[in-house]
Every structure is written in C-alpha cells, then in structure tokens.
Amino acid sequence: MKFDQNKNRFITAFMAVMMFLYASVNAQLHDSTTFWQPANHYQPKRGRVIAIGVGGAYVASMSALYSVWYKDYPQSKFHFFNDEKEWNQMDKFGHVGSAYYLGRWSTEIVRWTGINQRKSAVIGTGMGYLFQTTIEVLDGFSSQWGFSAGDIIANTAGSALFLSQELIWSEQRITYKFSYHESGLAKYRPNTLGSTLPERILKDYNGQTYWLSANIYSFLPKESKFPKWFNIAVGYGADGMIGAESNDVSYKGIAVPPYSRIRQFYVAADIDLTKIKTKSPRLKTLFQLFNFVKFPSPTFEYRSSGRSLIHGFYF
C-alpha cells in the first residue's frame, strides 16, 4: 500500500539522521578538542540543547507523519491487528533492528551532555522505544491497520538487546546487523516488493537477512591475541514469498511460479569495523556508519525444507 511505502520511507529517513549523528559523535570520543566530545559531568546547557532538540524533532516528526499520511485514511476506535503470520516474521526482525539502533544512536547523543553511560543507555533506549511505540499507537487508531502486539514485542526485544548489554558489559558485544541480496521475486509484485533497488532493499523480505554478530575477543581474557575485529554471526532469512501470508497464482496477468515459502538459518564469519584501529576521524565515522551491515563471507545455510548449503560468498 502507498501508506506503508511512505511510512517506511519516513522511518528510514529518521533513522538515517540518527545514524549520522551517532557516527559523528562516536568517532570523536577520544578527541578532546572537538565540540562533540562528551562532557566529564552533566552540563545543564547541553542537557537543554538535547531536550529541546530531541523533543522538538519528536513532536515535529510525529505531527508530520500524522498530517501527511494518517489523516488521509479513515480513523476508528483503538483496536488490535494480528499480523504475526505475515512474511514469515521477517518484518518483526526489522522492528528488532530499528529498536536496537534507535536506542544505540540515541544513547550516544545523550552521552554528549555528560550523563554517565548507564543512565544514558536507559534514557536513549526510552527515546527510541517512545518513537516506535507512538507509530504503533497511531496505527491502532487507523481503521485500515491496527495496533500490532507482534510489533511491540519485536520493538521490546530490540531495545532489550541493546540495553541489557550496556547494563551488563558496558559495551555491545553482540551487534544486530543486516544484509541484502537480489531475490529475483520483486518482478512478480513490484508494488509490494519494490520496483527500484532502494525500494527492494526496504521491502523485499526475500532478499533480506538479519544477523546477530558476536565479537569473539570481547568474551576472552584481555591479554588474548585473538583478532579484535573477528566476529561470528548467526542469521535469519526467508524466501519464496510473493504475498504476506500466501502466494498468488498470478499478479496483473503475470503467472507466478509455485515458489515454496521457506525459512533460512545461517552461520558465517563477520567483521566488526569499529574494532579496526585507525587514527582518521573520517574512517572512524565511516566504520560507525556501516557497521550495521553484515560483511560478506563464506556462509553455511540451513533451510526449513531440509536442505543445507555452503556459500563461498554470501551477502
């Protein structure tokens, strides 16, 4: 639907802004001369800047989302909508990732004020969770959609993944990552799965893979000589999906082959770009920006159909 496309673009644009701010701040953490260096203790002036900036951005973005899209669709009493069987739950894994990174990026922005790491993590996670929950509530008052309990569970899982690691280890030893490859299925339903590459990256669940990437060195003694940048990742994907719950025989006169809807599970090597040493702030920024992307590597795949595969290069 057009609404879903616009909402996805809106959320993606908001996350892109948050990602850039996070990377810019994080890349300068050890540069005491930069304006973005976090304060040693809480500074009220910086606190007011963040409160006004984030608060204003939240009100403006939610107002824009409502006035541009929600108001054009029939409203109703608050109600629930069960979409848990759609797309083999791939959309839920997307919600996990959005919540994880909104919390992570928001935390780094809060740290700039001088608030300690643990409190910043709690506040930052709450900021990201509020943003996503507001959208779910707006869905709940729209007659064409509804409040999805599955989405809230996924949002909670993503927030918990980030916050629990901050509170237990004061670092992210397990990172949530994403990769995409062309599935070849979007041509059968371009309005739903995307007609251009940017749209397909966002909408074609058949080509998406979501990963939990664990940094091995962070679990070893500090004197270990194991490469700090080496990760092991486990991933989840799905394939053969033309529609949300089932596949149509044809779409706009185009015959659709009888694809089997399957789940895919992966194990692969990965790289934590943020663990690669560099003195260049620009490289640090690039590493921070792109560390959410799973590094292409040899991969073992198991499919729910019972088939196992080894990929020499998988993305």
Give the mean model confidence (pLDDT) for residues 228-241: 97
pLDDT(30) > 50? no
Predicted local distance difference test score (pLDDT) of residue 46: 85
Residue 21 in this model has a pLDDT that exceeds 80: no
- Per-residue model confidence (pLDDT) at position 2: 39
Identify the pLDDT of residue 33.
Answer: 47
The confidence score (pLDDT) of residue 208 equals 96
Give pLDDT, residue 116.
92
- Report yes or no on whether pTM surpasses 0.95: no
What is the DSSP annotation of the chain?
-HHHHHHHHHHHHHHHHHHHHHHHHHTTTT-TTSTTSPPSS--HHHHHHHHHHHHHHHHHHHHHHHHHTGGGS-B-S--B---TTGGGGHHHHHHHHHHHHHHHHHHHHHHTTT--HHHHHHHHHHHHHHHHHHHHHHHHTBTTS-B-HHHHHHHHHHHHHHHHHHHHHSS-SEEEEEEE---S-GGG-HHHH-SSHHHHHHH-GGGEEEEEEEESGGGS-TT--S-TTEEEEEEEEEE--SSSSS--SEETTEE------EEEEEEEEEE-GGGS--S-HHHHHHHHHHTTBPPPEEEEEEETTS-EEEEEEE-
Stretch 273-289: mean pLDDT: 85
Could you tell me the residue ranges of all domains in the chain?
A: 1-171, 173-315
State yes or no: pLDDT of 267 exceeds 70: yes
